[in-house]
Structure 1
Amino acid sequence: MPVIDYDCEFARTSGQIDLVSIGMVNEQDRRYYAISRECDLSALLANDWLMRNVVSTLPLTLGTGPDGDLLAWDPDKPDFDKVKTRAQIAREVEDFALDTAHRDRTGMLPHVELRANYGAYDHVALCQLFGTMMDLPEGFPMWSHDIQQEAERLGLSGADLPQQASGQHNALADALHQQEIRRWLAQRAEYQS
């Protein structure tokens, strides 16, 4: 089954999960990265953790306005070309999955396998790109395999896993690191067999 490792950065707003960015990588090392132009910038500004860890990875500038601090998209920063509407991101994520999972002779699209790290909220953020879980495109599973579950099954803790050297909380860098961990865990599982 074709595998896509992915990560989402998100903000919680009024009980909702608001996609900020998404990174994906497949077994052929094809990569996808996008930032939601429609994410609630005020929710980022209001969350200290997001300000410290995520905002610095985005093409945003912190400034002040008449009502205090504000964030604004900055076309002069790296990755500004990755800032897109949610509808455009949804189309591109579907295309990425279609390119990853080739149709078989019957014309049916096989399911892709989604892998995430602590992926419950990531999966919800992904599903919400399309509406509800019932609106997922053909070939998308209604759940993601979680790296932490596999580590626990193998008797490992988070401290045992390969550590990310840089790029934490950039969705694409995190997806690439998750792919590294997934492959490392697969080798451990094979060794234990």
Structure 2
Amino acid sequence: MTMRIFYDTEFLEDGKTIELISIGMVAEDGREYYAVNRDMPVRRIRKHKWLMENVVLGLPKGHGDLRNSMSKRWLFHYGDHRVKSRMVIAAQVAEFIQATPDPQLWAWYGAYDHVALAQLWGRMIDLPDGVPMWTNDLKQECERLGNPTLPEQPDGVHNALADAQHNLVRAQYLDELTKAGR
């Protein structure tokens, strides 16, 4: 039986490269995964106004006294359990997907998300066994169904896990429209 995994990535792209910042995944069986790439290019991200204003704000931060002791150069709290090396993220994402029976990947405008995902392991042909070579696109499905107005995301926009959770909400809404014959 096929099971969908909804995911989102946040990334830095400059027209030549796509650098993973964070990834969030939600499987239909309720499992979730979220990680922040400790190896992200912090200096380049600091120079990217949109990322600083939209993505960095949602990354793990220290709390209380810890926040006051964090270096001002840090974009996020390096000691947070969700902050991991790219190699650890790659292994955990592979495990998450491989633990899913007949997985389908789904994302909103998913082309760059799939590239960011695939690059966890290098080239597309280096994908681990069981990791799909493509991502289904919720935006395309929305268009196919006549571009209905979808539920709005209440909060967490540009947080990879919150966006992945909302992708599940979008898909469930589109499923209901399909069942209703629209």
**Kept in 2: contact 1:35–1:83 (CA 8 A):** yes
**Kept in 2: contact 1:123–1:143 (CA 8 A):** yes
Give me the TM-score of the superposition, normalised by structure 2. Answer: 0.89
What is the alpha-carbon root mean square deviation over aligned residues? Answer: 1.7
Q: Give the one of 120, 131, 137 matched to 1:140.
A: 131
Matches within 5 A, 1:29-44: 29-44=30-45
Q: How far is 1:150 from its partner?
A: 0.5
What are the Cα deviations for residues 55-74 of structure 1, in whole angstroms up to 9, with x where unaligned?
Answer: 011135673xxxxxx43543
**Kept in 2: contact 1:45–1:71 (CA 8 A):** no
Match of 2:114? 123
Q: How far is 1:15 from its partner?
A: 1.4
Please state which structure has a larger fraction of its residues in strand. 1
Match of 2:153? 164
Give me the TM-score of the superposition, normalised by structure 1. Answer: 0.84
What are the Cα deviations for residues 128-150 of structure 1, in whole angstroms up to 9, with x where unaligned?
Answer: 00111111111222111111100
Q: Which amino acid aligns with 2:158?
A: H
**Kept in 2: contact 1:42–1:71 (CA 8 A):** no
Q: How far is 1:155 from its partner?
A: 0.5
- Report the CA distance shift for 1:62/1:44 in structure 2 as closer, same or farther (over 3 A): farther
Please give the alpha-carbon distance, in whole angstroms, between the structure 2 residues aligned to 1:72 and 1:169: 15
Please give the alpha-carbon distance, in whole angstroms, between the structure 1 residues aligned to 2:71 and 2:78: 13
Where does the alignment leave 5 or more consecutive residues of structure 2 unmatched?
Answer: 62-69
Matches within 5 A, 1:11-90: 11-13=12-14, 15-59=16-60, 63=72, 70-75=73-78, 80-90=80-90
- Report the CA distance shift for 1:42/1:14 in structure 2 as closer, same or farther (over 3 A): farther
Please give the alpha-carbon distance, in whole angstroms, between the structure 2 residues aligned to 1:131 and 1:86: 11
Where does the alignment leave 5 or more consecutive residues of structure 1 unmatched?
Answer: 64-69, 102-109
**Kept in 1: contact 2:56–2:76 (CA 8 A):** no
Q: Give the one of 138, 150, 153 matched to 2:141.
A: 150
